[in-house]
Amino acid sequence: MTLVEVVISMAITGMAVGGIVNGYHYCTNSAQKAALSLAANALAMERIEETRSVTWAPDRSPAVDQLVAINFTNKTVTLDLSGSGAVVIPAIIQTEISQVSVNPPLKRIRVACIWQYQGVEWITNIIETCRAPVQ
C-alpha cells in the first residue's frame, strides 16, 4: 500500500463515521422533539376535556353557561419527558371559546399549547373542536 491509498481510505472512513454520528444525532433530536410534541398534544387534549366537563345548558331555567373563556385562563405547564424530570420544558396552554351559532347552539373551542424546542424553535400544538350544550 502506498501512503496515498492509506490517506484516501482514512478520509473515506472519516466521512462515513461522521455521517453515522450526524445521523444518530438527527434521530435522537427528532425523537425528543416528537416526544415533546406528543406531551404537548396530551396537555392540550386535557384542557379540551376540561372544557367538555363544564356545564352549558342554555335551555334550563335559569340558563347555565360555564363554557366561557374567562373560566379557562392561560395556564403555564411543563412538558416532562417520561416523568423523570431530566428534560423539563415550560409551555403555555391558551384556550379560545367562541360562539359558532345560536340556533342550534354551538361553540368552538380552540386550545393551543405553545412551547420552545431547544431554546430556538417555537412550536404550537393546536386542537380544535365544537361543542353543543349538555354534551
The pTM of this model reads 0.80
- Pairwise CA distance, residues 135 & 126, whole Å: 22
Give 70-125 pLDDT, tens digit per residue: 999 999 999 877 666 667 889 999 999 999 998 889 999 999 999 999 888 999 99
Give residue-wise pLDDT tens across range 21-45: 999 999 988 988 898 999 999 999 9
Q: Residue 64 belongs to what domain range?
A: 3-131
Distance CA 135, CA 128 (A): 16
Residue with the three cell numbers 409551555: 91
Q: What is the dihedral of CA 64, 134, 50, 72, to 10 degrees?
A: -30
State residue 62 phi and psi, 5-degree precision: -75, 160
Number of domains the chain contains = 1
